[in-house]
A and B are shown apart, each in its own frame.
Chain A
Amino acid sequence: DAGVTQSPTHLIKTRGQQVTLRCSPKSGHDTVSWYQQALGQGPQFIFQYYEEEERQRGNFPDRFSGHQFPNYSSELNVNALLLGDSALYLCASSLLDRMGSYEQYFGPGTRLTVT
């Protein structure tokens, strides 16, 4: 059973450029969440996708956008990159269950460096 996969593993971009990160959820999962983790900190929630729509969003600017495809995979796009966007970007997948019993499983992350 394949877990959550993310690509690329590492990425180096220049300030002002745009980047797209990709995520494939764990088999059977229909919800994808994205998190940003700066060095030495816990992950910060960016947004969550379910049924191809953004369902929740954290305190991130509109430069951060996403998409979910019919096969549940997802992309995270960041425009006009800033030095402060350098971080580990984590994708987590889950099976949405409003009765409360579900867990988010994380991928290995994409390390983005902005120079």
Chain B
Amino acid sequence: EDQVTQSPEALRLQEGESSSLNCSYTVSGLRGLFWYRQDPGKGPEFLFTLYSAGEEKEKERLKATLTKKESFLHITAPKPEDSATYLCAVRTDSWGKLQFGAGTQVVVTP
């Protein structure tokens, strides 16, 4: 059975303190790994799609990487506005059903 596990469940950072979030997956045929950001009570906001091991993508203070078993979301010098829940999801078929992890809640304090 396909599984997506995110760690840690929660992360508290000081402003400027860089860190990484982990998304490990066990799936039968990855056809895309997606990272989303979700603010409380709102819908997920698309960040990145990664398709193959070794791929990296960056956006402002965020950088996503992918290996054959896991993905990392690196947050460099975070600011309080980076506080959110970060979700990863995998796609394993051509129709696009996403299977999500439970998310990592990030709090960045000034």
B72 within 8 A of A: no
A73 within 8 A of B: no
Contact indicator A42/B96 (Cβ below 8 Å): no
How many A-B contacts if CB must be within 8 Å?
69
Contact indicator B41/A96 (Cβ below 8 Å): no
| Alpha-carbon distance between A18 and B96 when the two chains are bound, in angstroms | 28
- Name the B residues within 8 Å of A101 (CB-CB): 49
B contact residues, range: 20 to 34
Contact partner of B42 (CB less than 8 A), chosen from A41, A102, A108, is A108
Contact partner of A100 (CB less than 8 A), chosen from B51, B97, B100, is B51
Q: What residues make up the interface of B, taking CB atoms closer than 8 Å to A?
A: 4, 31-32, 34, 36, 41-46, 49, 51, 87, 89, 93-103
8 contacts between A and B (CB under 8 A): A35-B98, A42-B89, A45-B99, A50-B95, A55-B95, A92-B98, A100-B94, A105-B46
